[in-house]
Structure 1
Amino acid sequence: MSRMPSAERRRQLIEAAIRAMTRDGVARTTTRSIAAEADVSLSVFHYCFDSKQALLESVISTITDHSRAVVKEAIRPKATLRETIRAGFRAYWDHVSAHPGEHMLTYELTQYALRQPGFEHLARRQYTLYSETYAELIEQLRYSMAFEPRVPVPVLARYLAVMTDGLTLNFLVLGDDTAAAAVLDTIVDQVVGLAGEVTRPPAPGTDARTRG
Structure 2
Amino acid sequence: MTLQQEHRSVEERREQLVDAAIAVLRDGGISAVTTRAVTARAGLPHGAFHYCFASKAPLFRAVLERQLRTAMAVAFAPPVTRLDLEARIASGLSAHLAQTRDDPATALAVVELVTHSRRDPDLQNLAAWEQHAYLDAVREQVDEWTAEDGIRWAVPVEHVVRLLIATADGIGSTWLADRDDAAADATVRVAARAIAALADRTGA
**Is TM (by shorter chain) over 0.5?**
yes
Question: Is structure 2 residue 131 aligned with structure 1 residue 127?
Answer: yes
**1:61 maps to which residue?**
65
In the alignment, residue 88 of structure 1 is paired with which amino acid?
A: G
Unmatched runs of 5 consecutive residues or more in structure 1: 201-212
Which of 82, 107, 112 is the equivalent residue of 1:108? 112
Question: Is structure 2 residue 175 aligned with structure 1 residue 171?
Answer: yes
**1:144 maps to which residue?**
148
Q: Among the aligned pairs, what percent are the same residue?
A: 27
Report the CA distance shift for 1:5/1:140 in structure 2 as closer, same or farther (over 3 A).
farther
In the alignment, residue 151 of structure 2 is paired with which amino acid?
A: F
The structure whose residues are more often helix, as a share, is 2
Question: Is structure 2 residue 74 aligned with structure 1 residue 70?
Answer: yes
Question: Is structure 2 residue 39 aligned with structure 1 residue 35?
Answer: yes
* Deviation, structure 1 residue 138: 0.7
Moved more, 69-78 or 170-179: 69-78
Counterparts of 1:184 and 1:72, CA distance in 2: 13
Could you tell me whether the CA contact under 8 Å between 1:74 and 1:88 is conserved in 2? no
Counterparts of 1:121 and 1:183, CA distance in 2: 32
Could you tell me whether the CA contact under 8 Å between 1:63 and 1:102 is conserved in 2? no
Could you tell me whether the CA contact under 8 Å between 2:74 and 2:95 is conserved in 1? yes
In the alignment, residue 6 of structure 1 is paired with which amino acid?
A: V
Unmatched runs of 5 consecutive residues or more in structure 2: 1-5
CA RMSD of aligned residues (A): 2.1
Could you tell me whether the CA contact under 8 Å between 1:147 and 1:199 is conserved in 2? no
**1:88 maps to which residue?**
92
**1:24 maps to which residue?**
28
In the alignment, residue 189 of structure 1 is paired with which amino acid?
A: R
Could you tell me whether the CA contact under 8 Å between 1:77 and 1:144 is conserved in 2? no
In the alignment, residue 78 of structure 1 is paired with which amino acid?
A: R
* Deviation, structure 1 residue 110: 2.0
* Deviation, structure 1 residue 85: 2.3
Which of 157, 161, 178 is the equivalent residue of 2:161? 157
Q: Note the alpha carbon deviations across 1:101-135, whole angstroms, 9 max, x for none.
A: 11111210122112222222212222222222221
